[in-house]
Amino acid sequence: MKTVLVFGTFDGLHPGHDDFFDQVKELGDNIVVCLTQDKVVRELKGKDPIEPFEQRKEALKKQSQISQIIPGDLDIGAFRAISIVQPDIIAIGYDQDELEKAITVWLDKYNGDIPVIQLRPFKPDTYKSSLLRK
């Protein structure tokens, strides 16, 4: 049974997220979501999430593909979830280039031999959280 770790804010789930989780499920059976905490969302995006952490967590619990949801670090770049979960694969969204770079640096530093797979977009001109907020 392969464990796949994903990171994200998941602020207002939409069909793009559904496709994201379907793609992740193709990679493994045990899907663990590291959910970004509100404080970190503010630091990274310069604004509060529309939905607070607990509301986003409850929405994710309704996704049948997800096995476990864990809170993200309060320190950007710590990636404790990787050490805790010890995934076989890390999957990231098509638009998470900065996250991919940060994870790669972390893995290089800590000799992590975990493949990082960037998922394909699903109608990015329609189902992107930042577009749906407008």
**Identified catalytic residue from 2, 25, 39, 45:** 45
> What span, in angstroms and rounded, lies between the C-alpha atoms of 109 and 106?
5
| Of the candidates 113, 120, 130, the residue with the CA atom closest to the CA atom of residue 44 | 130
Residue 39 is among the residues annotated as catalytic for this protein: no
**Identified catalytic residue from 47, 62, 109, 134:** 47
Residues 38/49, Cβ–Cβ less than 8 Å? yes
Residue 109 is among the residues annotated as catalytic for this protein: no
Q: Strand ranges (DSSP E) for 82-133?
A: 89-92, 116-118
Match 């404790």 to its residue by tokens: 80
At residue 63, the 3 state secondary structure works out as: coil
Which active-site residues does the annotation give?
45, 47
